[in-house]
Chains A and B, each alone.
Chain A
Amino acid sequence: MRMDLKKTKGVAIILLGRISGRQLFLLTWLLAFATSIIYLPAALAVRLQQDAWIAFLLGVLPIIPMWLVIIGLGKVFPGLSAMEWSRELLGNTRGTLLGLVFMAFFTFLAGVVVRISGELFSIAFMPETPLWVFIITAVVAGGYAAWHGLESIARGTEILFPFIILLAIFQVLAQVRNVDLKLIEPFFISSPARFAAASLIPAANYGEIVVFILFLPSLYRPGSGTREGLSGTIFSAVMLAIIGVFMLGIFGPAELARMNFSGLELAQNVRVGRFFERLESLVLGIWMMAIFLKIGLLYHGVVIGLAEWLRLKNYRNLVIPVGIVLAFTAFFAVPNYLNLTRFMTTTWPFLALGVELGLPVLLLLLAVVKKGRKKKDGQTH
Chain B
Amino acid sequence: MARPINWTFLQGGMLWCLCVVLLALPNAGCWSRKEVDHLGLVVQVGIDREDNGDFRFELKTVKPGLVAGGGSGGGGGGGGAAGKPFWIAQATGKTLSEAFTRLQTYTPRRPFLAHCQAIIISEEVAQNQLGPVLDFLSRQREFRRTAYVFISRKKALDILGAESPLEATPGVDVSELIMWMNWDPKIMAVSLNDFFRALSLPWIEPFMGLVDLVTPAPQKTNTSGGGGGASGGGSGKQEASAKSGEEQDLQVAGAAVFKGTRMVGYLTPVEAQTLNWLIGRAGGGVITVPMPEGAGQVQEASIRVNATRVSIKARGTTGVVIHIDQEGGLLEDSGGAAMSVKLLESIEKRAATLTQNRVAALVNTLQKKHGVDTLGLGRVLYRKDHQAWARLSKDWDQLYPDLPVKVESTFRLRNTGMTIHSPR
Q: Residues of A with Cβ closer than 8 Å to B?
A: 123-130, 133, 182-183, 185-186, 189, 250-255, 258, 265, 268-269, 271, 274, 277-278, 310-314, 316-317
Question: Could you tell me if B200 and A129 are in contact, using CB atoms closer than 8 angstroms?
Answer: no
Q: How far is the CA of A96 from the CA of B5 in the complex (A)?
A: 24
Inter-subunit contact B1/A312 (CB<8 Å): yes
**Residues from chain B with Cβ under 8 Å of A185 in the complex:** 383
Least CB distance from A238 to B in Å reads: 25
Closest-by-CB residue of A relative to B179 is A274
* Distance from A280 Cβ to chain B, minimum over Cβ atoms (Å): 9
| CB-defined contacts of A277 to chain B, threshold 8 Å | 146
Minimum CB–CB distance from A233 to chain B (whole Å) comes to 31
State the Cβ distance, A255 to closest chain B Cβ, in Å: 4
The reply to whether A252 and B145 form a contact with Cβ atoms under 8 Å apart is: no
Q: Is the CB of A254 within 8 A of B200?
A: yes
Chain A residues contacting B5 (CB-CB under 8 Å) are: 317
Q: List the B side residues contacting A127 at CB < 8 Å.
A: 32, 141
Q: Does A125 contact B32, Cβ atoms closer than 8 Å? A: yes
What secondary structure prevails in chain A residues at the interface with B?
A: loop
Flag if B2 contacts A312 (CB, 8 Å): yes
Task: Write the chain A residue with the least CB distance to B200.
Answer: A254
- Give the CA-CA distance A277 to B145 in the complex, in Å: 12
16 contacts between A and B (CB under 8 A): A124-B141, A133-B31, A186-B383, A251-B197, A252-B200, A252-B201, A255-B196, A255-B197, A265-B145, A268-B144, A269-B146, A274-B175, A274-B179, A277-B146, A312-B2, A316-B7
Known: A129-B31, A255-B196. A269 touches B145 (CB 8 A): yes
Chain A CB count within 10 A is highest, among B31, B175, B379, for B31
Are the CB atoms of A129 and B201 closer together than 8 Å? no
The yes or no answer to B193 lying at the interface (CB within 8 A) is yes
B316 within 8 A of A: no
Interface contacts (Cβ under 8 Å), in number, total 67
Residues from chain A with a CB closer than 8 A to the CB of B144 are 268
Q: Which of A125, A253, A268, A311 contacts B145 (CB 8 A)?
A: A268
B32 touches A317 (CB 8 A): no
Assess A129 versus B146: contact at CB under 8 Å? Given A252-B200, A269-B193, A314-B4: no
In the assembled complex, which residues on chain B have CB atoms less than 8 Å from the CB atom of A311?
1
CB distance from B13 to the nearest CB of A (A): 20
Q: Tell whether, in the assembled complex, residue B200 and residue A255 are in contact, meaning their CB atoms are under 8 Å apart.
A: yes
The residues of A that contact B32 with a CB separation of less than 8 Å are 125-129
Q: Which of chain B's residues have a CB closer than 8 A to the CB of A313?
A: 1, 4
Query: In this assembly, does B382 line the interface, its C-beta being within 8 Å of a C-beta of chain A?
Result: yes
Known: A126-B31, A189-B386, A312-B2. 12 other contacts (CB 8 A): A130-B31, A182-B383, A251-B196, A252-B196, A252-B197, A252-B201, A269-B193, A310-B2, A313-B4, A316-B7, A317-B2, A317-B5
From B204, which residue of chain A is reached at the shortest CB distance? A252
* A182 vs B379: C-alpha distance when bound (angstroms): 9
Q: Count residues of B near A (Cβ-Cβ below 8 Å).
A: 26
- B1-49: which residues lie under 8 A (CB-CB) from chain A? 1-2, 4-5, 7, 30-32
> How near does chain B come to A18, taking the closest CB pair, in angstroms?
23
Can you list, as one digit per residue, whether each of B129-172 has a CB less than 8 Å from chain A (1) or not (0)? 00000000000010011100000000000000000000000000
Bound CA span A274–B175, Å: 10
How far, in whole Å, are A312 and B146 apart by their CA atoms in the complex? 55
Task: Compute how far the CA of A269 lies from the CA of B197 in the bound complex, rounded to whole angstroms.
Answer: 13
A116 to chain B, nearest CB (A): 17
* Min distance, Cβ A245 to any Cβ of chain B, angstroms: 15
Q: Which residues of B contact A251 (CB under 8 A)?
A: 193, 196-197
Give the Cβ gap from A219 to chain B, nearest Cβ, in Å.
Answer: 27
**Cα of A252 to Cα of B7 in the assembled complex, Å:** 54
A284 to chain B: closest CB distance in Å?
Answer: 13
A314 to B383, CA, bound (A): 61
Tell me the minimal C-beta distance from B134 to chain A in angstroms.
Answer: 11
For A253, the chain B residues whose CB sits under 8 A away are 201
Known: A250-B193, A311-B1. A186 touches B382 (CB 8 A): yes
Residues of chain A within 8 A (CB-CB) of B386 are 186, 189
Q: How far is the CA of A265 from the CA of B145 in the complex (A)?
A: 8
Contacts of A274 in B (CB 8 A): 175, 179
Is B141's CB under 8 angstroms from A123's CB?
A: yes
Q: Which residues of A contact B175 (CB under 8 A)?
A: 274
Query: Which residues of chain B from 201 to 240 have any CB-CB distance to chain A below 8 Å in the complex?
Result: 201-202
Asked if B146 and A268 sit within 8 Å, CB to CB, the answer is: yes
Query: Which of B2, B7, B146 touches A271 (beta carbons < 8 Å)?
Result: B146
Residue of B nearest to A269 (CB): B145
**Nearest B residue to A189, CB-CB:** B386
Q: Which residues of A contact B145 (CB under 8 A)?
A: 265, 268-269
Which A-B residue pairs are the 3 nearest by beta carbons?
Answer: A126-B32, A254-B200, A129-B31
Residue of B nearest to A147 (CB): B7
Q: Bound complex: CA of A338 vs CA of B5, how far in Å? A: 40
Nearest neighbor of B34 in chain A, beta-carbon distance: A126
Q: Residues of B contacting A312 with CB < 8 Å?
A: 1-2
CA of A185 to CA of B141, assembled, Å: 31
Give Cα A311–Cα B30 distance, bound, in whole angstroms.
Answer: 42
Q: List residues of chain B with CB within 8 A of the CB of A314.
A: 4
CB contacts (< 8 Å) of A126 on chain B: these are: 31-32
Looking across the interface, which residue of chain A has its beta carbon closest to that of B382? A186
With the chains together, A254 CA to B196 CA distance in Å? Answer: 9
Cα(A128)–Cα(B5), bound, Å: 38
Docked complex: B279-294 residues within 8 A CB-CB of A? none
